[in-house]
Amino acid sequence: MNPDIQRERENATFNTDLLTYVLDGGEEKTRRRREIESLVISDADFQQEDANFLSRSERYDAAVRKSAQMILKLREYGISDPEEIYCYKNCVHRGRPEPLDLHLGMFLPTLLNQATPEQQERFFMPAWNLEIIGTYAQTEMGHGTFIRGLETTATYDPATQEFVMNSPTISSIKWWPGGLGKTSNHAIVLAQLYTKGVLHGLHAFIVPIRSMSTHEPLPGIEVGDIGPKFGFDEVDNGYLKMDNVRIPRMNMLMKYAKVDRDGTYQKPPSAKLTYGTMVFIRSMIVGESSRALSKACTIAIRYSSVRHQSELRPGEPEPQILDYQTQQYKLFPLLATAYAFKFVGQYMTETYHRITGDINQGDFSELPELHALSAGLKAFTTWVANSGIEVCRMACGGHGYSRCSSLPDIYVTFTPTCTYEGENTVMMLQTARYLVKSYRQASEGQHLSGIVSYLNEAHQRLQAQPVSSRPTVVNISDLASLVEAYKLRAAKLVEVAAKSLQGELQKSRSPEDAWNNSSIDLVRASDAHCHYVVVKLFAAKLGEISDTGVHSALSTLALLYALHGVAQNSGDFLQAGLLTVPQLSSVSQRLKDILAQVRTNAVALVDAFDYRDEMLNSVLGRYDGNIYEHMFAWARKSPLNRTEVHESYHKYLKPLQSKL
C-alpha cells in the first residue's frame, strides 16, 4: 500500500462501509453485490487480455465469448432477479456494452410486452435459448429523434398474407441498432404500416435477417456493421437494408394493434403505454451518469493523492497534487455531483416502482410529471457527467491520456448517453413544455401539485416584488435556504421562458416558430428546474442518514454541490435578486473553506463507491496507490513491444537512409 493513500484513509472522519451501504441501498445489498462481483472476477472463464491491446474485431470476439459464457452461468447459478442479472452482466463486461445487450434488454422485453400469447409461444423460447438472437431496429440513417419521420415500410399483401418489408431510400436504411451488424439473426423492425393502401403509422415487425442454420444473410437482406465508432468497440452496431422481404402476417407484433387476414387494421387501445418504459430507461441512465462520474472521480482523486508535483513551499518535498486548491476545485464539486446524481437515480427508480404499482391498479396520475421530469434529468445529468469525466481525465495530466488510466474508455463508453434514448436538447425541451404548461396553469389560478408546485407560490412571489426591494432570502451556509434559492431561480427562468414564448406569439408568429424562437430560454428553464430538483433531492437524502460521521461528510458535499452551482450560475441568482454582490464574494470564500474540509475525506469518499480494481481497470485508480510500477508493467505489454524492432524500420527507415 502506498503510504500517502494509506494516510488519507487513516485520516477519514467516517466509516467507509456505512456510506457504501447508503449507496447500495442497504448492507444486505452491498453484501450480495460484492458476492456477485467475486463470483465473476474469480471465474477463469471471464479472464481476458486487456481490451486496450486488442483490435476491434478481437474485442467483439471476446465480448461474444463472454456473453455466451454469461448466459450459461446465469442459468447455472440460477440468478434471475433483474437487478442481480444487471450486476452480473456489468461485472462480466466491466461496465462496457456488449453484443447481446439489445437481445436481452429490448428484443426479449418487447416480445413479452407487445406479442400476443401465440406469438410469444412461437418466438419467446427460441429467443430465450438463443436460437433466435434479436435486436431492435428503430433508427434509420436519416432519422433518429423524430420517429414519425421513419421511412421503412411494411406493406400488407392479403394474397399471401405477408408483409412486404422495404427500405425505399438510402436514408431509410436501419442504422445504429446494437447487435444488428453481425450477431443477430432476427430484428424487431419499426416500419410504417400500409394496408389496403392506407398508412397506419409505425408498428413493430419481427424480421428474420440471417439463416438460423448458416447465419448467412437471407435473400433481400443487406446487413452489416456500421464501422468503427468513438467507443462501443465490443458492439456490432449495424445497418439493415431490406428489398421486398416477405414475412408472415403473424410477424407483426399484435398485442395492441392488429392486421386481420384480409388486411383490415385495428387500432391499439391507448398510445401512452410506452411512458413507463421510457421513464425506467431514463432512470437507469441517470444512474449511469453517477456511475461513470464516480468512477472517473475515484481514479482522479486516488491518483491526486499519490502523485507529487511542483512545490508549494521552497525546499520541502513535492506535495500531493490533491493539496492544490485548483485541483480540489476541479475534482471535489464533481465528487459531490456523483453523489447527488446517485441519489437522483435512486429517487427516480423508487418513484418509478411506486408509480408502476399504481399503473397496475390503473392510477396514471403521477406519470406525466415523472415522464417530463425524467427527460430533463436524463439530459442534465448526462451532460454534466460527460464534461466532468473529461475534467477528471485532464486533472490527471498526461497519464490521464493513456488508456491505462481507463478514463478515455469511461468517456467514450458514457458519452452516447447524451444522444441515445432522446437527444439531450430535445429532452430538455420536453421538460420545458411541461414547465411552461404548468406555469400557465398556475398563472390562470390552477393549483399545481407535485414537484412543480413551486410555480404556485413562486409565481405570486416573483410578481409581487420588484427585484430591488425584494429581501435577500439566502443564507449561504444553510442548505434549506439554498434549496429555496434554486427553487426561485427555476421559477424565475420558467417565467422568462414563458414570457419569451408569449412575446413571440404576440408578434403573430405560429406557435411552432414562437417555440423555436424561445428555445434557448426554454432549455435554460429546464436546466434550472433540474438543478433545483437535484439540490432538493440531495438535501432530502441527508434526512435518511443516521450515522453522524457519514451525515457530516455528506452534508459538506451537499453544501459544496449547492454553492458551486451558485458560483457557476451567479448571473442567474443576481439577476433574480436572490443574492447580493457581497454575498457572492462570501460564496467564493465559503467554497474555499469547504474544499479544505472535503480534502480530509476525499479518498474515503471515493473508496465508498466501492469499485474493485478489476472493475475500474485503471492503473491510476488502483486501490493500493502503487501506480508507477504497474504503469511500467502495463506498457511493456503494449502490442508495439512484441518485437524489439518494428517491421517499419526495415521496410521504410533503413531503405530511406541509403537514399539520402
Count the residues of the shown chain that bind a second copy, applying the rule CB under 8 A.
142
Query: Which of the residues 58, 421, 423, 614 is marked catalytic?
Result: 421
In the list 26, 196, 540, 652, the residue contacting a second copy (rule: CB under 8 A) is 652
Give the span between the Cα atoms of 514 and 500, in whole angstroms.
Answer: 8
In the list 216, 262, 363, 624, the residue contacting a second copy (rule: CB under 8 A) is 216
What is the three-class DSSP state of 428? helix
At its nearest, how many Å lie between a second copy and the CB of residue 435? 16
Give the distance from CA 143 to its chain's centroid: 21
In the list 98, 288, 521, 610, the residue contacting a second copy (rule: CB under 8 A) is 521
Q: Which is nearer to a second copy, 294 or 424 (CB)?
A: 424
Task: Please report, as residue ranges, which positions from 312 to 331 form the binding site for a second copy (by CB under 8 A).
Answer: 312-314, 318, 323-327, 329-330
Q: Does 258 bind a second copy (CB under 8 A)?
A: no
Instruction: At 388, give phi and psi (nearest 5°).
Output: -65, -40
Task: Please report, as residue ranges, which positions from 345 to 384 form the binding site for a second copy (by CB under 8 A).
Answer: none
Cβ atoms of 182 and 238 closer than 8 Å: yes
Task: Please report, as residue ranges, which positions from 461 to 520 form the binding site for a second copy (by CB under 8 A).
Answer: 467, 496, 510, 512-513, 516-520
Give the span between the Cα atoms of 331 and 557, in whole angstroms.
Answer: 12
At its nearest, how many Å lie between a second copy and the CB of residue 540? 27
At its nearest, how many Å lie between a second copy and the CB of residue 499? 10
Q: Does 131 bind a second copy (CB under 8 A)?
A: yes
For 303, 391, 442, 588, 592, the CA distances from 326, given in Å and listed in that order, are 15, 12, 44, 13, 10
Q: Which is nearer to a second copy, 504 or 610 (CB)?
A: 504
At its nearest, how many Å lie between a second copy and the CB of residue 574? 5
Give the span between the Cα atoms of 365 and 170, in whole angstroms.
Answer: 42
Nearest residue to 36 via CA among 87, 70, 103, 110: 87
At its nearest, how many Å lie between a second copy and the CB of residue 620? 12
Give the span between the Cα atoms of 113 and 116, in whole angstroms.
Answer: 9
Cβ atoms of 408 and 401 closer than 8 Å: yes
At its nearest, how many Å lie between a second copy and the CB of residue 566? 9
Q: Which is nearer to a second copy, 82 or 398 (CB)?
A: 398
Nearest residue to 473 via CA among 453, 458, 455, 495: 458
Q: Does 637 bind a second copy (CB under 8 A)?
A: yes
Give the span between the Cα atoms of 619 and 628, in whole angstroms.
Answer: 8
Q: Which is nearer to a second copy, 366 or 423 (CB)?
A: 423
Q: Does 634 bind a second copy (CB under 8 A)?
A: yes
Distance in Å from the first CA to the final CA of the chain: 53
From 243-251, 392-400, 475-483, 604-612, give the range in contact with a second copy by CB under 8 A: 392-400
Residue 176 CB coordination number (10 Å): 20
Instruction: At 471, give phi and psi (nearest 5°).
Output: -70, 145
Give the span between the Cα atoms of 370 and 408, in whole angstroms.
Answer: 33
From 218-226, 246-254, 287-295, 338-346, give the range in contact with a second copy by CB under 8 A: 218-226
Q: Which is nearer to a second copy, 55 or 446 (CB)?
A: 55
Q: Which is nearer to a second copy, 145 or 264 (CB)?
A: 145
Give the span between the Cα atoms of 204 and 193, in whole angstroms.
Answer: 9
Q: Is 495 a catalytic residue?
A: no
In the list 64, 253, 299, 452, the residue contacting a second copy (rule: CB under 8 A) is 64
Q: Which is nearer to a second copy, 162 or 234 (CB)?
A: 234
Residue 614 CB coordination number (10 Å): 15
153-164: b (≥16 Cβ within 10 Å) or e:
bbbbeeeeebbb
Task: Please report, as residue ranges, which positions from 226 to 245 form the binding site for a second copy (by CB under 8 A).
Answer: 226-231, 236, 239
In the list 116, 387, 443, 600, the residue contacting a second copy (rule: CB under 8 A) is 387
Q: Does 256 bind a second copy (CB under 8 A)?
A: no
The β-bridge partners of 206 are: 188
Catalytic center residues: 421
